[in-house]
């Protein structure tokens, strides 16, 4: 695409250097100078750890045809004989450029966005499964994978950067897909990654403490999430009706409802909602209930486990009903999803006790997970978990309290300590475990084992028939970050290896 045509996406941009070819063909957008090649438009972005403006010379030397900057102050590389474009917000500019460069693909897709602290992955997987059962071709973008209607790519972020996301959406269109289902993280909303995506349906699952290392306050965190819903505005480009599907039982969800201009369906179990569940039956084999919806009631059976997954199912059902998917296809899509990797994923111990691997990495998620496990366990609940380093330290003690509330034994270990001392992180968690144990007024055995492999094996070695061992925090992840090293590590594999070595006992 010609540079001058591409820049029509930035009506407020200022051309501060008229040198070079303003009609140059742009073949590629880059926000990392190492990805620049001849014909690239390089957009300099200020990140948390580095500033793209410091790499302008590198981008020019690699063949950038033009650069976009936030400020025109003298910097190495700005003297190059190429067009230099100044904008107020280079992240916003990158998103708008990417949308135009890719041909505005979201205008040709049914766009479904799911946001919230917990539940995004499960809800998006459910929605995709229902859409497929109804005969649609649906892409999926989230923590687990980028699924381009059958072409599966590794996920690098929950929500990709705009210049990566928009071409992927364009490929979905080329493949004949009619829907894109997307986990939309608070980071993505705050950093304008989904600017230029026109969503038709938006889901709010819940909001609990997480990511305060980035957002600083819960108010900021909420405002980022709310951005997905403020974009539910009918436009001349798309005739699809808009809808918000919001968890009414969540206090932040109730607050969000009050601000909505788009039509809303609410879901919940504790308050009057448009979608709710009657007669919930939860077993280790799955859930069964009657979904009560705006178009009538029908029976639901799912392999998913726990009360928290009733909420996830109601959210997905709400989206499906808005899309006018028949009840039998909704039930079929739900039934065909046997599970979500790293979400209440069960392993057969062969020794009479259960093993569950789950991604729960917030107080609320751990609390809900362990409550569900405790209700289904005849023996003891043995929980292994840790907290990440260089992330919100305010959730460490609360997660310790959550673990103690529903566990008989807590094994505190490392998660991804990154640059922090893992022992110090564990000490902060221990404070919460002790507090939680005191609040439950029953003894909770606990131990701190810094090595995660050893911690998992220790917990499995403690288990007896009837017990459940829960390994929480990493779920589907296949790595551990220690210092500046990313090493292979898989909770499921570690537990599976132990089970294989020890046989049926």
Tens of pLDDT, residue by residue over 55-104, are 999 999 999 999 999 976 556 667 888 999 999 999 999 999 999 999 99
pLDDT of residue 216: 64
Q: What percent of the chain is modeled with pLDDT above 90?
A: 86
Q: With 80 as the cut, is the pLDDT of residue 250 above it?
A: yes
Q: Given CA atoms 310, 142, 262, 109 in this order, what sign does their dihedral have?
A: negative
pLDDT of residue 434: 96
pLDDT of residue 505: 55
List, for residues 210-226, the tens digit of each pLDDT value: 655 555 688 888 888 89
Q: Is 220 or 3 the better-scoring residue by pLDDT?
A: 3
**For residues 505 and 488, what is the distance between their CA atoms, to the nearest angstrom?**
28
Average pLDDT over residues 123-146: 98
pLDDT of residue 219: 87
CA distances from 74 to 58, 59, 67, 68, 205 (A): 15, 16, 14, 14, 46
Question: What is the CATH code of the structural domain delimited by 345-502?
Answer: 3.90.190.20
Which DSSP string do the residues of 391-402 spell out, in sequence order? S-GGGHHHHHHH
Q: What percent of the chain is modeled with pLDDT above 70?
A: 97
Question: What is the CATH code of the structural domain delimited by 103-336?
Answer: 3.40.1190.10
* Biggest CA-to-CA distance, the chain: 76
Q: Are 98 and 40 in contact (CB under 8 A)?
A: no
pLDDT of residue 208: 84
Q: What is the DSSP letter of 340?
A: B
pLDDT of residue 293: 98
**Range with lowest mean pLDDT among 8-17, 213-222, 262-271, 352-361:** 213-222
Report residue 226: phi and psi, to 5°: -65, -25
Q: How open is the CA angle 140-141-145, to the nearest 5 degrees?
A: 90
Q: With 90 as the cut, is the pLDDT of residue 337 above it?
A: yes
pLDDT of residue 396: 97
pLDDT of residue 82: 94
Nearest Cα residue to 388 out of 221, 220, 212, 219: 212
pTM, two decimal places: 0.94
Q: What b/e readout covers 276-302, taking b as 16+ CB neighbours within 10 angstroms?
A: bbeeeebeeebbebebbbeeeeeebeb
Which residue intervals of the chain bear CATH 3.40.1190.10? 103-336
Tell me whether strands 40-43 and 66-69 are parallel, antiparallel or unpaired.
Answer: parallel
**For residues 282 and 280, what is the distance between their CA atoms, to the nearest angstrom?**
6
Q: With 80 as the cut, is the pLDDT of residue 503 above it?
A: no
237 pLDDT tier (thresholds 50, 70, 90): confident
Question: Which residues neighbour 423 within 8 Å (Cβ) at sequence distance 6 or greater?
Answer: 448, 450
Q: Taking all residues of the chain, what is their mean pLDDT, rounded to a whole number?
A: 94
**Pair of tokens at residue 218:** 């819960």
Average pLDDT over residues 256-262: 95
List, for residues 361-418, the tens digit of each pLDDT value: 999 999 999 999 999 999 999 999 999 999 989 999 999 999 999 999 999 999 999 9
Which residue intervals of the chain bear CATH 3.40.1390.10? 3-100
Which residue intervals of the chain bear CATH 3.90.190.20? 345-502
Nearest Cα residue to 114 out of 234, 225, 220, 190: 225
Q: With 70 as the cut, is the pLDDT of residue 452 above it?
A: yes
**For residues 91 and 226, what is the distance between their CA atoms, to the nearest angstrom?**
19
CATH class of 3-100: alpha beta
Q: With 80 as the cut, is the pLDDT of residue 289 above it?
A: yes
Q: With 90 as the cut, is the pLDDT of residue 5 above it?
A: yes
pLDDT of residue 76: 66
Q: With 80 as the cut, is the pLDDT of residue 351 above it?
A: yes
Neighbours of 39 (CB within 10 A): 15
pLDDT of residue 234: 79
29 pLDDT tier (thresholds 50, 70, 90): very high
pLDDT of residue 209: 63
């Amino acid at each position: 695409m010609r540079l001058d045509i591409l820049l029509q996406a930035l009506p407020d941009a200022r051309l501060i250097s008229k040198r070079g070819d303003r009609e140059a063909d742009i073949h590629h957008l880059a926000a990392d100078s190492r990805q620049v090649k001849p014909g690239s438009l390089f957009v300099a972005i200020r990140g948390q750890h580095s500033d793209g403006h410091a790499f302008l010379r590198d981008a020019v030397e690699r063949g950038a045809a033009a650069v976009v900057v936030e400020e025109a102050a003298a910097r190495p590389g700005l003297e190059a004989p190429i067009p230099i474009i100044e904008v107020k917000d280079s992240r916003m500019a990158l998103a708008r450029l990417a949308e135009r460069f890719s041909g505005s693909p979201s205008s040709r897709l049914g766009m479904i966005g799911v946001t919230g602290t917990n539940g995004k992955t499960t809800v998006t997987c459910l929605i995709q499964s229902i859409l497929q059962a109804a005969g649609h071709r649906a892409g999926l973008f989230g923590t687990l994978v980028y699924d381009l209607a059958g072409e599966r790519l590794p996920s690098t972020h929950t929500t990709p950067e705009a210049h990566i996301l928009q071409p992927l959406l364009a490929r979905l269109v080329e493949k004949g897909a009619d829907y894109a289902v997307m986990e939309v993280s608070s980071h993505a909303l705050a950093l304008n990654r989904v600017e230029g995506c026109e969503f038709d349906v938006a889901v709010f699952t819940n909001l609990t403490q997480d990511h305060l290392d980035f957002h600083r306050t819960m108010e900021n965190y909420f405002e980022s999430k709310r951005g997905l819903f403020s974009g539910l505005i009918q436009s001349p480009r798309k005739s699809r009706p808009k809808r918000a599907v919001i968890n009414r039982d969540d206090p932040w969800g109730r607050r969000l409802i009050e601000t909505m201009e788009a039509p809303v369906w609410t879901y919940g179990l504790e308050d009057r909602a448009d979608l709710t569940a009657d007669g919930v039956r939860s077993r280790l084999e799955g859930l069964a209930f009657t979904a009560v919806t705006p178009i009538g009631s029908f029976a639901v059976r799912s392999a998913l486990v726990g009360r928290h997954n009733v909420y996830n199912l109601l959210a997905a059902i709400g989206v499906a009903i808005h899309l006018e998917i028949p009840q039998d296809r909704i039930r079929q899509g739900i039934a065909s999803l046997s599970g979500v990797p790293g979400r209440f994923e069960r392993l057969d111990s062969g020794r009479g006790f259960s093993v569950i691997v789950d991604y729960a990495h917030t107080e609320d998620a751990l609390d809900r997970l362990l409550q569900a496990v405790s209700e289904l366990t005849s023996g003891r609940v043995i929980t292994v978990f840790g907290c990440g380093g260089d992330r919100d330290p305010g959730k460490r003690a609360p997660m310790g309290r959550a673990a103690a509330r529903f566990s008989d034994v807590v094994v505190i270990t490392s998660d991804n300590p990154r640059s922090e001392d893992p022992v110090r992180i564990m000490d902060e968690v221990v404070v919460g475990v002790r507090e939680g144990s005191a609040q439950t007024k029953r003894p909770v055995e606990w131990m701190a084992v810094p090595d995660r492999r050893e911690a998992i094996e220790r917990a499995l070695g403690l288990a007896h028939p009837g017990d459940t061992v829960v390994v929480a925090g990493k779920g589907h992840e296949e790595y551990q970050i220690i210092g500046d090293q990313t090493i292979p590590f898989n909770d499921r594999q570690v537990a599976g290896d132990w089970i294989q070595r020890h046989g049926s006992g």
